Amino acid sequence: MASMKENPYVLTGPLDLRNCDVARYLPYLSDDEHEKQQRFRTQALQDHYVLSRGILRETLGQALGRAPERLTFAYGEHGKPYLPDRGIEFNLSHSHDYLLIGLSDQPIGVDVEHERASLEPMSLAQRFFADSEIAWLESLPESDVLRGFYQLWVCKEAVIKAIGVGLNASLKDIEIAIEDGPARLLNTPENGEGLCVQLIDAPVGYHAAVCFTHRF
């Protein structure tokens, strides 16, 4: 695994229920994770949860040299999981059949979204985006608006997850610029100083981003 002292480590991959041995990951999960698994209504959702948590534990275990089932998570004020006194930060996101995990020695957030063609991007943008972001979307050809919306959305979500404030942060308070090249973070809520955000290559139909502490 690459050193996290210079750059975050990002793992991406499919959650393919047809080709994954879900049972292999069951022993990794804690009692409370097994309880949460059972609360999902369908077997497919339960299996997705087991895979995502199992792969997260396996990835963290490899990074720390510990058995996946021996890792104990704690949870922050807004529900973000962390490993006490382990010197590693992590974040996980999955959407539809795709998984994204970020590891760093500093706060990190990741987000992946599966594109829905039926989404009304401008209606949602008016509710959640800053004026400059709305103006950028309005400047795009109609065929690019949905892609632009998702690029902004995953960047904003990654920032919120890096800060660890959950739903208490307003997406309007996080301002992203993409129009002239790589994504740039123009404005963040409290506790967002020193962060940068990057779009990540994802399969067709998906959009993904990572937010981490910039190395000056």
The residue among 51, 86, 106 that closes a domain is 106
The residue among 89, 106, 123 that closes a domain is 106
Domain that holds residue 199: 111-213
User: Does 171 reside within a domain?
Assistant: yes
**Could you tell me if 176 and 196 lie in one domain?**
yes
**Could you tell me if 128 and 56 lie in one domain?**
no
What CATH number is given to the structural domain containing 27?
A: 3.90.470.20
Sign of CA dihedral 78, 47, 84, 8: negative
Question: Can you give the pLDDT of all 216 residues of the chain as single tens digits?
Answer: 445 555 677 877 777 766 788 899 999 999 999 999 999 999 989 999 999 999 999 999 999 999 999 999 998 877 788 898 778 999 999 988 889 999 999 889 999 999 998 999 999 999 999 999 999 999 999 999 999 999 999 999 999 999 887 655 678 889 999 977 788 888 877 666 788 899 999 989 999 999 998 754
Residues with Cβ < 8 Å from 209, sequence gap 6 or more? 110, 111, 151, 154, 155, 157, 158, 183, 197, 198, 199, 200
**Could you tell me if 190 and 209 lie in one domain?**
yes
